[in-house]
Amino acid sequence: MERIPILRIGDLLLVTIQVDMHDRLAMTLQDDLTERIVRDEAKGVLIDISALDLVDSFIGRMISNTASMARVLDAQTVLVGMQPAVAITLVELGLTLTGVKTALNVERGMALLGKDFQHGARSDQAR
């Protein structure tokens, strides 16, 4: 069965969705990702959807849910590389993904997470 690979980079997990998402694949991804966050004690998750150019309401909700789940497991989640067409579709569907961080590309996403970590470390020291 095909799976979406989850790559580990230091404290981060990188998920790149490069195939057409279908419903079962999305479900499997949720299982795998939550599993890996717990096992690897990941502090941040980058979900790269730059290759995704078609979404329906189900996939939109899955993306939103996956990001929220990662957040519940105390991993900062950034959704990166959303295409204009996908963004418009999600807004029209009423899925504005409130609370999920977004970035234009993986590089920016990593910078965003890095900044958060530094910020977190500093506040830890302060404590």
Which residues of this chain interact with another protein, rule CB under 8 A?
A: 79-84, 86-88, 90-92, 96-97, 102-105, 108-109
CA–CA separation, 12 and 8 (whole Å): 6
Minimal distance, residue 108 CB to another protein, in Å: 6
Q: Which is nearer to another protein, 92 or 124 (CB)?
A: 92
Q: Which is nearer to another protein, 73 or 95 (CB)?
A: 95
Minimal distance, residue 16 CB to another protein, in Å: 16
Q: Cα 116 from chain centroid?
A: 15
Q: Which is nearer to another protein, 18 or 96 (CB)?
A: 96
Minimal distance, residue 63 CB to another protein, in Å: 10
CA–CA separation, 32 and 46 (whole Å): 14
Strand order from edge to edge, sheet including 12-16:
6-9, 12-16, 44-48, 76-80, 101-103
Q: Which is nearer to another protein, 85 or 121 (CB)?
A: 85
Minimal distance, residue 18 CB to another protein, in Å: 18
Q: What is the DSSP string of 59-74?
A: HHHHHHHHHHHHHHTT
